[in-house]
Amino acid sequence: MVKRRKGERYTPPKIKQAKLVTADYWTLHAVARFVDPSDDVAALAQRMAVTCRKNNGLAVAAPQVGHDIRLVVLADGRAILNPSVEPDMTHGTSLEREGCLSYPNRWWLVERRIAVDVTGIDAFTGQPIGFSTYRGDYESTIDARMWQHEVDHLDGLVLVDRYEEVT
């Protein structure tokens, strides 16, 4: 037990960020393993959220921090195990510039679905979740793009291998 002096305020320990892997690290090019919902990934998810925020990302997939498991963590701290995306075919596609935390300061022109349906398991509660990214605004197209990008990471697919780089 840590002793504190009288009047000393409690300061929670800082959560360290997970280290981003880049370029040819093997987890970026491998299909990630499904995670048993009973596995405790909370500490990893918290570290990934810190990494995401410190690097100005929207989300980060476990392969981007060297873990070959199907886990995606959003900058707001939400964590989804075994996520899958299904395209919402009632909406079209958009061609936009896209970056990646594992390839900093590089950009690719990528065509993605405007809306997707996401399913998975909440990494903290173990409860199944499902939702559509479509809300009828531009931000929802960014959410759809982000989910497609992160699930690509779980499938071992990276921008550098698939699309034309732009400046």
Contacts of 114 (CB under 8 A, 6+ apart): 88, 91, 92, 93, 94, 134, 140, 141, 144
Name the catalytic one among 8, 86, 98, 150.
150
Whether 150 is a known active-site residue: answer yes
Beta bridge partners of 71: 81
Contact (Cβ atoms closer than 8 angstroms) between residue 116 and residue 148: yes
Give the active site residues.
150
